[in-house]
Amino acid sequence: MAAMEQQEVHERAGGRRRGPSKGDLREQAILRTARGLLADKPLERITVDDLVSGAGISRPTFYFYFASKQAVFEALLDPVGDAIMDVADSWLTSPGGSREELHASLAGLAALWSAHGPLLKVVLREDATGALLECRDRMLGRLAANATARIDRDRAAGLAPDGPPAADLGALMVRLLTQALSDAIGPSGTDPVPPGLLDTLTVVVGRSIYGRTPSDPAPAG
């Protein structure tokens, strides 16, 4: 319960209460250490002691700045989540249904995975909890909602054939993309996304949404 109180204090002003700077440096040092360690080993193998010794502080000092190890990675993830939202929105608002445009959108996603691989892998993991889980659901939800809207729009315009409910198809495409990108960057999360993968994803997403097989209805208009 004492833990609760302390966490609430932290929540109140997103980490520390206020104040100019002295401890800001330490907070930054913790975040920097976390980011660095993440390139070497997965989240579950990073201990509070790693962060503590990396930042040159003691254990309780760490807990003064962050409520838990997870909270550090949540803080790290915040700006990345925003970037994902931007990609999602730009995909929705981009013009036509051309292959090039789809390819470009996927490249935007891939760039995020290249830049923040380890972090994105963490948040997509099945056993995420707390704020990490919320963040994931928000990210995936926004991506899926925009994909769904896109599919509906293109179906209404006769660009895409009917098929599964747009929401199901959209959610599936999002899962496919995020999973494929996470796989591509390897266990450490630092490999580059191979260009061939982008081509394959473009074809698969393109065919799934716009493609026809003999048993699909013919194009409208």
Partner DNA sequence: GATAAACTCAACTGTGTGTTGAGTATTCCC
Partner DNA sequence: GGGAATACTCAACACACAGTTGAGTTTATC
Q: How far is the CB of 57 from its own copies (least distance, A)?
A: 28
Footprint of DNA on residues 53-92 (CB under 7 A)?
57-61, 63-65, 67-70
Angle, to 10 degrees, between the axis of helix 99-124 and the axis of helix 22-40? 110
- The position carrying tokens 């704020």 is 131
Measured between alpha carbons, how far is residue 10 from residues 15, 65, 136 in Å?
A: 5, 8, 22
133 binds DNA (CB under 7 A): no
Question: Token pair for residue 209?
Answer: 């949404």
Residue type for 46, please? I
Site for its own copies in 198-217 (CB under 8 A): 199-201, 203-204, 206-208, 210-213, 215-216
Asked if 74 contacts 132 with a C-beta cutoff of 8 angstroms, the reply is: yes
Alpha carbon 182 to its chain's center: 10
| 195 sits near its own copies (criterion: CB under 8 A) | no
Q: 127: how many CB neighbours lie within 10 A of its CB?
A: 7
Per partner kind, with CB cut-offs from 5 to 8 A, the member of its own copies, DNA, none near residue 211 is its own copies
Of 139-178, binders to its own copies (CB under 8 A) are: 163-165, 168-169, 172, 175-176
- Residues numbered 114 to 143 that lie near its own copies (CB under 8 A) are 121, 125-127
Q: What is the spatial distance between Cα 215 and Cα 212, in angstroms, rounded to a whole number?
A: 8
Cα 196 to chain centroid distance, Å, stands at 21
83 binds, among DNA, its own copies, none (CB under 5 to 8 A by kind): none
Contact residues for DNA (CB under 7 A)? Answer: 1-3, 6, 16-24, 26, 46-49, 57-61, 63-65, 67-70
Contact residues for its own copies (CB under 8 A)? Answer: 42, 44, 99, 121, 125-127, 163-165, 168-169, 172, 175-176, 179-180, 182-183, 187, 196-197, 199-201, 203-204, 206-208, 210-213, 215-216
